[in-house]
């Protein structure tokens, strides 16, 4: 609050106190007392009043008839009454009246041993009015409506929902359960929630009765241990023991970034996970062992969603690579033993290093474009649109491509990539030598003599500089930057966060200055770095003043020389440039330092070749390729080679060296990109979408490595939040490109000037125009164009998306999840073409369509979708009715039997080859799956025989038409009793996952 606001607030309080009299104060207190407000609210100076008798039987009927019921509409209440009113609806009010009338005697205090009484007490105290439990919904049914009431709650509905009470009697230890009911828990277990549980006035007997009722209803008997002996082979729940020193260390490692990475979502003491959506945040690992029961923990870890429907925690299905003889349940047992020990140490490894890059003497520079954030630094304090270059003399430099400012110079190893939770970051690995100042603009336009009123670069979103391209030539790196100057158009010219036009496009008196910035090693024997800048397009009579050069902070012990050379200088001493003129900034070490040793080359781990049999009617094979490649998108080159992007920022080219039809060798084409999730071939070039831009990658010198990178599209809001994906680069029949941008709907701290086009599908026209094509997507990770040139995009389940979705993308349409600063009020949302069942699927990503000339014609035109979380493939068919798309989906791959691992590692990308082969890019990551950030390519080809099954389901006016791959034997499936049909709907009310509503069995009348 500003000083002016504080003063105004104080004045208002003074004026109010002057108007109040002592009699009014007393009257107000008496009103609060008579209304019994302290029965529910903690009010300083007021004691909690005694509970009133519960009215039932004939007395309840009479009270209702007289209008003295708390479930009457306010209009029917007695005038001046202070009784609270509950809006239950007429049907619910009538049901309560009838039930109360059937009770002939007043209800007495519950017997602690009576579980039914405990459940009744829960109903009396409204526990399930707030908490979800066993299919009954509490505040989750109202959270979306509450969110809409206040602008500051936009996207925050999940913060209004308390934890579910489903299975709580099995989950918590007896003493913890009782303390929670009595409100004796001192610390807030889930401090991020915006709701608090009231402190109920309960007798010891009533508290024990509620706890007993929960235990009686929820707890799985101990005798059931014998039915799952594999769970307790390495853990004795009857006689728990303190962890050994070895188990404490192992448990700490397993819960950290190098293990199952529990801290990706769970806090651990003082450690808070980064960028965790509210629906996926977990409680403190350090108190978990004191609260949970060991039996519950072991059952929970098998598959959390089976215990608590809708929970977002994934099932961990693969053991850590420790002892090959260790089973997954054995590792779970060690983890629990450590968590339950009072001496459990918080995980010390919160980051996992994935790559360390060095540049050898004489080697070409290396460039990185991903987010840079120092370990331990606060979110938002890093460099999102970073540009880092490392050189063979041990020097490295970090620039902010949004401004042109020099951020850091270091000496030693180039850079390190790490994962922290679900986020991926880089930082310079060398010794920091210089930290640049980001205050003020990088440059400004002044009169030719340096005088006059300076014109500052106009800012568009967070960009003062526009990155146009970069290239690596010999021992230098060259960037092309553009700065825009002019008068900003009047407010309202860019209506809404998804306006097609940028601020720069609307400038009046628009002037553009292009800057060529070359980075290279400092000439001579001294180690250092040289920045050489040439500008063009400077208007006549003006000069470009480099106000951002030379302002820096150097280290105290390792001194750096800093010299800026220019033909002219401004009155403030900054370099002054006209069109075509050059300035040079040289940074060198004053003393000689030992060169950093080159990292020892370690042969990459290679994925074990494996035959796949999980897709009926197809032969499958997992290829033997480096396991560190994490495929996110696939594309075919004109010569038949396969190009792919990797989550680690690389672009790889795979070649079939022995002509057996399978890629078997890999070559690195490019590196250092920010989570690239889309790739296309374009003649001799590759087009790649990564988080901040869509790029054209070219190999001009023919050495097999990209050396020129042109920016085809940029300008959307971009931050260091890992949700800021740019995914699914596809081309339609006209040659236009499409990409999908992840939404920022849940990022409550997201600034309005960093939100443009989030949650949209963009069309990139051949002429360069960027058009926001479709809106209000959550995470459109998979885009595809079918054989009829129709555009589709997947969207993941969560919040407003009650199912995983396949959407038919049409121009100007909205798809249900507005971005953070786009209310989309009054705008109708499109229904998905395909609602893919959840939790049957949990994270559907890329899709591809079987070609029209596919070798198995029965599948031509249908689609296949990559389901990452449950490690399977989904087949789908589409049906157009009066211009509206609908369809059906079918399992394409078999699920593994209980206790076995899926043959598919984690499908996330897919593409059809010219020979009909379906290639699947699979990964297992540390953020969601507690895995080792590995990947592979899996290949599927039609087998000689196709088992029979449902080929397609189509809706007709009075039912469904079902086609099979082959004719059915006579008498099969001809009776209604042979068919099982269910229906369900889902309506989002505020929670992350939405339960089914109106699920029912549908009677089949005829076949």
Range with the poorest average pLDDT among 17-21, 688-692, 782-786, 930-934: 17-21
Confidence of residue 738 (pLDDT cuts 50, 70, 90): very high
Q: Is residue 495 classed exposed, middle or buried when 0-12, 13-18 and 19+ CB atoms within 10 A define those classes?
A: exposed
57, 169: one domain: yes
Q: What is the per-residue pLDDT for 492?
A: 47
Q: What is the per-residue pLDDT for 428?
A: 95
Q: What is the per-residue pLDDT for 36?
A: 80
How many other β-carbons are positioned within 10 Å of the β-carbon of residue 1003? 8
If you average pLDDT over residues 231-242, what whole number do you get?
87
Q: What is the per-residue pLDDT for 732?
A: 97
SS percent in the chain: helix, strand, coil, step 5:
20, 30, 50
**pLDDT surpasses 70 at 108:** no
40, 59: one domain: no
Short-list 742, 695, 699, CA closest to 717: 742
Q: The domain spanning residue 632 has which CATH number? A: 2.120.10.30
430, 306: one domain: no
How many other β-carbons are positioned within 10 Å of the β-carbon of residue 604? 12
Using DSSP's 3-state secondary structure scheme, residue 223 falls into helix
If you average pLDDT over residues 108-134, what whole number do you get?
77
Q: What is the per-residue pLDDT for 109?
A: 44
Q: The domain spanning residue 261 has which CATH number? A: 1.10.760.10
> What is the span of the domain harbouring residue 253?
234-339
How many other β-carbons are positioned within 10 Å of the β-carbon of residue 658? 9
361, 433: one domain: yes
**pLDDT surpasses 60 at 13:** no
**Where does a domain end: 156, 190, 218?**
218
Short-list 849, 871, 870, CA closest to 860: 849
If you average pLDDT over residues 193-214, what whole number do you get?
89
The CA distance from 475 to 485, in Å, is 33
**pLDDT surpasses 80 at 463:** yes
Give bridge partners of residue 983 from the DSSP assignment: 1000
**pLDDT surpasses 90 at 917:** yes
pLDDT in tens, 414-450: 999 999 888 999 999 999 998 877 678 999 999 998 8
Range with the poorest average pLDDT among 237-241, 303-307, 797-801: 237-241
Range with the poorest average pLDDT among 34-43, 111-120, 147-156, 538-547: 111-120
Task: Report the interhelical angle of 115-124 vs 204-218 (nearest 10°).
Answer: 110
Short-list 354, 353, 349, CA closest to 256: 349
The CA distance from 317 to 305, in Å, is 13
Residues whose CB is less than 8 angstroms from the CB of residue 157 and which lie 6 or more positions away in sequence, other chains included = 143, 144, 146, 147, 799, 990, 991
DSSP letters for 273-331: -SS--GGG-B--HHHHHHHB-HHHHHHHHH-HHHHSTT--PPPP-S--SS-TT--HHHH
Confidence of residue 77 (pLDDT cuts 50, 70, 90): very low
What DSSP designation does 382 have? S
**pLDDT surpasses 70 at 938:** yes
Short-list 799, 797, 681, 794, CA closest to 740: 794
CB 412 within 8 Å of CB 431: yes
Q: Does residue 266 fall inside a structural domain?
A: yes
CB 756 within 8 Å of CB 498: yes
The residue ranges of DSSP E strands in 91-250, in sequence order, are none
Q: In what order do the strands lie in the sheet with 508-521?
A: 560-566, 582-589, 528-536, 508-521, 476-487, 465-473, 708-713, 693-698, 685-690, 678-682
The residue ranges of DSSP E strands in 502-650, in sequence order, are 508-521, 528-536, 542-546, 552-554, 560-566, 568-569, 575-577, 582-589, 610-612, 618-622, 631-636, 642-646
Q: What is the per-residue pLDDT for 822?
A: 84
555, 628: one domain: no
% the chain with pLDDT above 90? 59
% the chain with pLDDT above 70? 90
If you average pLDDT over residues 784-800, what whole number do you get?
95
Range with the poorest average pLDDT among 340-349, 377-386, 558-567, 661-670: 377-386
334, 397: one domain: no
User: pLDDT: is 135 or 761 the higher one?
Assistant: 761
Q: What is the per-residue pLDDT for 338?
A: 95
How many other β-carbons are positioned within 10 Å of the β-carbon of residue 666? 19
**pLDDT surpasses 50 at 78:** no
Q: Does residue 980 fall inside a structural domain?
A: no
Q: In what order do the strands lie in the sheet with 568-569?
A: 444-447, 542-546, 575-577, 568-569
Residue for token digits 């009054």?
826
**pLDDT surpasses 60 at 491:** no
37, 57: one domain: no
Backbone angles phi, psi at 10, to 5 degrees: -65, -40
DSSP letters for 871-894: TEEEEEEEEEETTEEEEEEEE-SP
**pLDDT surpasses 90 at 762:** yes
| pTM, rounded to two decimals | 0.85
Q: Does residue 1004 fall inside a structural domain?
A: no
Q: What is the per-residue pLDDT for 184?
A: 84
**pLDDT surpasses 60 at 576:** yes
**pLDDT surpasses 50 at 207:** yes
Confidence of residue 135 (pLDDT cuts 50, 70, 90): confident
Q: Does residue 438 fall inside a structural domain?
A: yes
31, 66: one domain: no
Q: Does residue 668 fall inside a structural domain?
A: yes
If you average pLDDT over residues 190-201, what whole number do you get?
86
Pairing of strands 476-487, 465-473: antiparallel
Confidence of residue 899 (pLDDT cuts 50, 70, 90): low
- The alpha carbon torsion through 658, 661, 664, 670 (nearest 10 deg) reads 120
**pLDDT surpasses 80 at 742:** yes
CA 792 to chain centre: 21
DSSP letters for 341-363: STTPPPPS---EEEEEE---TTP
Q: Does residue 983 fall inside a structural domain?
A: no
Range with the poorest average pLDDT among 21-25, 310-314, 439-443, 850-854: 21-25
Range with the poorest average pLDDT among 86-90, 107-111, 166-170: 107-111
The CA distance from 270 to 275, in Å, is 16
What is each CA distance from 742 to 368, 375, 495, 644, 793, in whole angstroms? 22, 25, 21, 21, 12
User: pLDDT: is 558 or 354 the higher one?
Assistant: 354
Q: Does residue 684 fall inside a structural domain?
A: yes
Q: What is the per-residue pLDDT for 58?
A: 63
Q: Does residue 984 fall inside a structural domain?
A: no
63, 7: one domain: no
241, 178: one domain: no
Range with the poorest average pLDDT among 7-11, 139-143, 387-391, 499-503: 7-11
Confidence of residue 496 (pLDDT cuts 50, 70, 90): low
**Where does a domain end: 34, 51, 68?**
51
The per-residue pLDDT of the chain, averaged, comes to 88
**Where does a domain end: 29, 51, 73?**
51
CB 717 within 8 Å of CB 757: yes
What is each CA distance from 108 to 105, 121, 204, 614, in whole angstroms? 9, 11, 15, 60
**pLDDT surpasses 60 at 409:** yes
If you average pLDDT over residues 513-537, what whole number do you get?
93
If you average pLDDT over residues 76-82, what whole number do you get?
50
Structural tokens at position 708: 């020129």
117, 1: one domain: no
Backbone angles phi, psi at 501, to 5 degrees: -90, 140
Q: How many domains does the chain have?
A: 5
Q: What is the per-residue pLDDT for 76?
A: 43
CA 552 to chain centre: 36
**pLDDT surpasses 70 at 74:** no
685, 625: one domain: yes
Q: What is the per-residue pLDDT for 955?
A: 95
If you average pLDDT over residues 357-380, what whole number do you get?
87
User: pLDDT: is 396 or 436 the higher one?
Assistant: 396
């Amino acid at each position: 609050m500003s000083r002016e606001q504080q003063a105004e607030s104080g004045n208002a309080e003074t004026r109010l106190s002057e108007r109040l009299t002592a009699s009014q104060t007393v009257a107000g207190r008496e009103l609060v007392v008579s209304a019994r407000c302290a029965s529910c609210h903690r009010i300083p100076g007021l004691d909690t009043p005694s509970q009133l008798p519960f009215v039932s039987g004939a007395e309840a009927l009479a009270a209702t008839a007289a209008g003295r019921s708390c479930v009457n509409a306010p209009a029917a209440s007695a005038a001046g009454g202070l009784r609270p009113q509950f809006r239950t609806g007429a049907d619910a009010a009538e049901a309560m009246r009838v039930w109360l009338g059937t009770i002939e005697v007043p209800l007495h205090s519950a017997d602690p041993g009576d579980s039914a009484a405990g459940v009744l007490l829960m109903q009396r105290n409204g526990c399930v009015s707030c908490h979800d439990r066993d299919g009954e919904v509490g505040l989750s049914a109202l959270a979306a409506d509450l969110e809409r009431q206040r602008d500051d709650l936009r996207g925050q509905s999940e913060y209004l929902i308390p934890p579910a009470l489903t299975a709580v009697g099995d989950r918590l230890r007896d003493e913890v359960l009782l303390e929670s009911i009595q409100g004796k828990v001192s610390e807030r277990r889930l401090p991020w929630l915006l709701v608090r549980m009231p402190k109920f006035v309960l007798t010891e007997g009533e508290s024990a009765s509620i706890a007993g009722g929960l235990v009686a209803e929820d707890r799985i008997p101990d005798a059931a241990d014998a039915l799952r002996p594999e769970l307790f082979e390495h853990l004795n729940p009857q006689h728990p023991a303190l962890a050994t020193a070895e188990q404490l260390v192992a448990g700490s490692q397993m819960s950290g970034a190098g293990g199952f990475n529990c801290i990706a979502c769970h806090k651990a003491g003082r450690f808070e996970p980064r960028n965790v959506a509210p629906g996926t945040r977990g409680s403190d690992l350090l108190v978990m062992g004191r609260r949970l029961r060991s039996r519950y923990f072991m059952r929970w870890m098998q598959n959390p969603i089976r215990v608590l429907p809708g929970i977002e925690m994934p099932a961990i299905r693969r053991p850590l690579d420790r002892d090959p003889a260790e089973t997954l349940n054995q590792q779970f047992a060690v983890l629990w033993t450590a968590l339950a020990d009072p001496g459990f140490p918080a995980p010390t490894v919160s980051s996992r290093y994935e790559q360390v890059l060095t540049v050898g003497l004489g080697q070409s520079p290396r460039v990185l474009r991903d987010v840079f954030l120092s370990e331990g630094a606060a979110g938002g304090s890093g460099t999102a649109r970073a540009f880092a270059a490392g050189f063979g003399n041990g020097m490295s430099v970090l620039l902010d491509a949004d401004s042109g400012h020099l951020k850091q110079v270091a000496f030693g190893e180039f850079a390190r990539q790490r994962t922290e939770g679900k986020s991926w970051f880089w930082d310079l690995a060398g010794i920091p030598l210089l930290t640049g100042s980001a205050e003020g603009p990088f440059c400004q336009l002044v009169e030719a003599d340096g005088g006059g009123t300076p014109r500052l670069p106009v800012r568009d979103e967070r960009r003062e500089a526009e990155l146009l391209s970069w290239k690596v030539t010999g021992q230098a790196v060259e960037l092309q930057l553009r700065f825009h100057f002019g008068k900003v158009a009047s407010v309202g010219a860019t209506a809404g966060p998804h306006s097609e036009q940028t601020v720069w496009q609307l400038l009046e008196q628009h002037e553009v200055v292009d800057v060529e910035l070359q980075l290279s090693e400092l000439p001579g024997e001294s180690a250092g770095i040289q920045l050489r800048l040439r500008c063009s397009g400077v208007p006549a009579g003006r000069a470009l003043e480099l106000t951002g050069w030379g302002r820096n902070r150097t280290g105290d012990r390792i001194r750096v020389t800093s010299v800026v050379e220019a033909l002219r200088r401004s009155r403030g001493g900054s370099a002054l440039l006209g069109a075509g003129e050059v300035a040079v900034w040289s940074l060198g070490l004053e003393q000689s330092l030992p060169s950093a040793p080159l990292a020892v080359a370690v042969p990459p781990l290679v994925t074990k070749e494996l035959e796949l049999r999980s897709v009926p009617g197809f032969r499958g094979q997992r290829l033997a390729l480096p396991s560190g490649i994490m495929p996110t998108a696939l594309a075919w080159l004109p010569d038949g080679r396969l190009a792919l992007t990797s989550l680690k920022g690389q672009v790889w080219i795979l070649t079939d060296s022995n002509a057996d039809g399978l890629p078997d060798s890999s070559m690195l084409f490019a590196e250092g990109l920010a989570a690239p999730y889309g790739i296309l071939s374009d003649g001799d070039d590759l087009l790649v979408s990564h988080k901040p831009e869509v790029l054209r990658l070219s190999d001009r010198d023919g050495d097999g490595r990209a050396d020129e990178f042109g920016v085809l599209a940029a300008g959307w809001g971009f931050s260091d939040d890992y949700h800021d994906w740019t995914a699914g680069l596809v081309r339609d029949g006209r040659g236009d490109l499409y990409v999908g941008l992840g939404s920022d709907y849940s990022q409550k701290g997201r600034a309005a000037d960093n939100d443009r086009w989030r949650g949209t599908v963009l069309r990139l026209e051949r002429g360069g125009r960027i058009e926001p094509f479709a809106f209000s997507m959550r995470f459109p990770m998979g885009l595809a164009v079918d054989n009829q040139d129709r555009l589709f995009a997947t969207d993941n389940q969560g919040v407003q998306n009650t199912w995983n979705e396949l959407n038919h993308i049409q121009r100007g349409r909205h798809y249900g999840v507005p971005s953070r600063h786009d209310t989309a009020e009054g705008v109708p949302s499109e229904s998905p073409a395909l609602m893919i069942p959840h939790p049957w699927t949990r994270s559907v990503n890329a899709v591809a369509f079987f070609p029209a000339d596919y070798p198995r014609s029965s599948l031509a035109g249908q689609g296949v979708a990559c389901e990452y979380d449950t490690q399977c493939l989904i087949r789908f068919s589409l049906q157009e009715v009066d211009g509206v798309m609908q369809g059906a989906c079918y399992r394409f791959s078999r699920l593994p039997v209980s206790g076995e691992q899926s043959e598919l590692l984690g499908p996330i990308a897919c593409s059809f080859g010219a020979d009909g082969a379906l290639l699947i890019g699979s990964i297992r990551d540390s953020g969601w799956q507690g895995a080792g950030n590995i990947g592979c390519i899996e290949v599927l080809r039609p087998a000689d025989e196709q088992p029979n099954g449902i080929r397609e389901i189509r809706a007709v006016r009075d039912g469904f038409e079902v086609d099979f791959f082959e004719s059915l034997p006579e008498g099969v499936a001809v009776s209604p009793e042979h068919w099982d049909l269910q229906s369900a709907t889902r309506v989002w009310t505020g929670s992350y996952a939405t339960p089914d509503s109106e699920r029912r069995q549908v009677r089949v009348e005829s076949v």
